[in-house]
């Protein structure tokens, strides 16, 4: 039978600081948590949640075919996506933050990651026939690409002036290899070879080329690094603040590595392989804005 306003009651209410929605048809009531403490977000979620509840109450859609978002997220995170550990942690963080009622990040890049991650869940739900309609977020899914690289003088200062010798070697090794932090924070001896290491990180397993400078560092270590992500991030920020280098992150060493190789005349294909990019197109997208300023003067 058709759902009419006379037969339906839907309301928002708060329980232990969390907002819920309750709907009723012909004395049949169903309630569900909206998993947010923010009334503004609860109001945004209300139309979708109300439609799903009423569909279940009226029998027009079975619950298993029109899951509420919370249940969809649970199944999405449990499914086998062949994610790396880092990707799985990122997805868990995004959904925990979003379902806790926190606003989307203001930073364009971070915000785009949230939008892209949440919409991927909705798309998965459609493909698995777990929902009949996706309520995807609007907004940019690419974000603004960061283009910060260290100047020659900044790089010299950084490599010469970090006082903690062990961490100094780690920073140097990161720059000389162009490796991601996650690929070199915990290297195993069995993964070290004469001119390369086998690393596991964002893109899965890959070989990282060791130039003479990197080989010298790794061969001279009595004990390999065993750093956490937070330690590297906080330690690096503390050092660059002390040295007066503004707006710099650890990952910018990797970008500087690629930028300097291209400036030296290395073919983009070689640089792409050294960085472990999936394609040359990816490398070009990262470095095209930077290299536009390197083009020699021309007259039209």
What pLDDT band is residue 16 in, cutting at 50, 70 and 90? confident
Mean pLDDT of the 226-255 span:
94
Mean pLDDT of the 156-162 span:
96
Say what the pLDDT of residue 1 is. 41
What pLDDT band is residue 160 in, cutting at 50, 70 and 90? very high
Mean pLDDT of the 194-221 span:
90
Coil, strand or helix: which one is 28? strand
What pLDDT band is residue 8 in, cutting at 50, 70 and 90? low
Portion of the chain with pLDDT greater than 90, in percent: 45
Does 60 score more than 60 pLDDT? no
pLDDT in tens, 65-118: 567 888 899 999 999 988 878 789 999 999 999 988 888 888 888 889 999 999
Does 26 score more than 70 pLDDT? no
The answer to whether 195 touches 181, Cβ cutoff 8 Å, is no
Does 291 score more than 60 pLDDT? yes
Say what the pLDDT of residue 9 is. 60
Q: Which two tokens stand for residue 48?
A: 């979708």
Q: How far apart (Å, rounded) are the C-alpha atoms in residues 236 and 87?
A: 23
Mean pLDDT of the 115-128 span:
92
pLDDT in tens, 245-287: 999 999 999 999 999 999 898 999 999 999 998 888 888 888 8
E strand residue ranges, 85-230? 196-201, 204-209
Say what the pLDDT of residue 147 is. 82
Block residue for tokens 């990197």:
214
What pLDDT band is residue 3 in, cutting at 50, 70 and 90? very low
What pLDDT band is residue 295 in, cutting at 50, 70 and 90? low
Mean pLDDT of the 209-221 span:
95
Q: Which of 117, 118, 115, 123 shows the shortest CA–CA distance to 139?
A: 115
CA distances from 78 to 83, 85, 87, 162, 289 (A): 11, 13, 13, 43, 39
Mean pLDDT value across the chain: 85
pTM: 0.60
Say what the pLDDT of residue 7 is. 45
pLDDT in tens, 167-197: 999 999 999 999 999 899 989 999 999 999 9
What pLDDT band is residue 296 in, cutting at 50, 70 and 90? low
């Amino acid at each position: 039978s058709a759902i009419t306003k006379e037969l339906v009651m839907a309301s928002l209410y708060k329980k232990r600081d969390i907002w819920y929605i309750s709907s009723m048809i012909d004395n049949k009531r169903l309630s569900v948590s909206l998993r947010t403490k923010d009334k503004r977000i609860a109001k945004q979620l209300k139309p979708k949640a109300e439609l799903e509840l009423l569909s279940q109450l009226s029998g027009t859609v079975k619950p298993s075919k029109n899951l509420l978002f919370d249940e969809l997220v649970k199944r999405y995170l449990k499914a086998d996506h062949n994610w790396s550990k880092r990707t799985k942690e990122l997805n868990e963080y995004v959904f925990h933050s979003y379902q806790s009622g926190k606003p989307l990040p203001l930073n364009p890049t971070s915000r785009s990651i949230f939008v892209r991650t949440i919409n991927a869940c909705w798309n998965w739900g459609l493909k698995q026939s777990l929902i009949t309609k996706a309520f995807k977020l609007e907004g940019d899914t690419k974000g603004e690409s960061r283009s910060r690289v260290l100047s020659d003088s900044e790089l010299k200062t950084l490599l010469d002036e970090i006082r903690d010798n062990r961490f100094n070697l780690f920073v140097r090794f990161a720059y000389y290899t162009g490796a991601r932090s996650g690929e070199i924070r915990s290297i195993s001896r069995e993964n070290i070879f004469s001119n390369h290491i086998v690393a596991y990180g964002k893109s899965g397993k890959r070989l990282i080329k060791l130039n003479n400078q990197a080989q010298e560092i790794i061969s001279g270590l009595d004990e390999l690094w065993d750093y956490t992500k937070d330690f590297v991030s906080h330690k690096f920020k503390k050092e660059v603040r002390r040295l007066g280098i503004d707006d710099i992150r650890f990952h910018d060493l990797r970008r500087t590595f690629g930028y300097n190789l291209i400036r030296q005349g290395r073919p983009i294909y070689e640089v792409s392989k050294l960085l472990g990019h999936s394609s040359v197109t990816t490398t070009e997208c990262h470095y095209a804005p930077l290299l536009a300023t390197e083009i020699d003067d021309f007259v039209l």
